[in-house]
Amino acid sequence: MLAQFKHKDDVQKWLDIIRGGYAPKSVEHLKTGSRPPFPYSDVRLLPYLQYSFWFLPNVAACNAMANLLEERQNTFWHDYEVNVCAGASAGIGLDALPPVRKEIGSGFDTKTIVLSCGKLVTGVTVPQWSSILMLRNLTSPETYFQAAFRVQSPWSIKNPNGDDPNAEEILKPACFVFDFAPTRALRQLSEYGIGLSPSEPNPETAVKDLVSFLPVFAGGHKRPGYNATPFGLFAVYPGPRVAPAAIHVLPCRVINRH
């Protein structure tokens, strides 16, 4: 029997929402004149979703998601190669990586989604990954951000025109972490920021220092007081080899009801 979500209809609704295809929401957005920039529906975000990593609760959830994405009503998702990096069939440790790189290819003419519940979240560099969707609860902020930073690896080409060995073309100017449970995301951010600055007496200052590097947007809007451009599309890297990341918080929890 194929793996399926217990609340399959809710997960299907979520898939429709993030690609802008959920009819009741579309009518609401037309009435209000506002449309939240959900990941797979906003043209400004789509380039960063060409190669994405979906972090799910367990192996069963990964298989259930893969099966749901393949169903005939989900034609939008059929353009993406879906790789289930979960369970024994995916291989042990780094054995799960070669199929992922093979499906990505050159990184210019393919689109992939990696479904994982723990594989490839440590010690792995896949430059093309530009977004991670947090679809599980994690108690450890270290685990949360260790997974999040998988998409922060820089992607560039040295000497792209063959005439300047010092030239470098940046192919990934930004990366994103999408979380659909605001309370969870902000709690992880707070705990991680405080943990990074144990000697800082003011927790708010510790978190502000982290957010200055990792800007947070709620529903597509920048939080007041943070010096960041909308959607994390930074014109300049904070460092020559580090792509900036943004946590994009969207209020939707149904994916954890499996």
> Domain with 70 in it: what CATH number?
3.40.50.300
* Complete DSSP assignment for 87-107: SGGG-SGGGGHHHHHHHHTTS
Give a yes or no: residue 215 inside a domain.
yes
Q: 32 pLDDT exceeds 60? A: no
Give a yes or no: residue 144 inside a domain.
yes
Give the per-residue pLDDT at 85.
96
Q: What is the mean pLDDT of residues 15-41?
A: 71
Query: Which pLDDT tens digit goes with each residue over 51-84?
Result: 999 999 999 999 999 999 999 999 999 999 999 9
Give a yes or no: residue 51 inside a domain.
yes
**Vertex 99, ends 97 and 104: CA angle to 5°?**
95
Give the per-residue pLDDT at 231.
29
Torsion of CA 52, 34, 247, 62, to 10 degrees: -40
Give the per-residue pLDDT at 197.
87
Give a yes or no: residue 237 inside a domain.
yes
Give a yes or no: residue 1 inside a domain.
no
- In sequence order, the 6+-apart residues with CB closer than 8 A to the CB of 79 are 111
Query: Which pLDDT tens digit goes with each residue over 105-121?
Result: 989 999 999 999 999 99
Give a yes or no: residue 3 inside a domain.
no
Residues 251 and 182: beta-carbon distance below 8 Å: yes
Q: 11 pLDDT exceeds 50? A: yes
Give a yes or no: residue 2 inside a domain.
no
Give CA separation, 29 vs 26, 56, 122, 181, in Å: 5, 29, 39, 21
Count of domains observed in the chain: 1
Structural domain of 190:
8-256
pLDDT category, 186, cuts 50, 70, 90?
A: confident
Give a yes or no: residue 113 inside a domain.
yes
Q: 132 pLDDT exceeds 80? A: yes
The closest of 90, 100, 97 to 62, measured between CA atoms, is 90
Query: Which pLDDT tens digit goes with each residue over 145-175?
Result: 889 888 888 898 998 888 998 999 988 888 8
The SS3 of residue 233 is coil
Give CA separation, 78 vs 14, 46, 69, 111, in Å: 16, 16, 7, 10
Query: Which pLDDT tens digit goes with each residue over 187-236?
Result: 888 898 899 888 888 888 888 887 777 777 665 444 433 333 332 322 12
Query: Residue 92: exposed, middle, or buried by beta-carbon count in 10 A (0-12, 13-18, 19+)?
Result: exposed
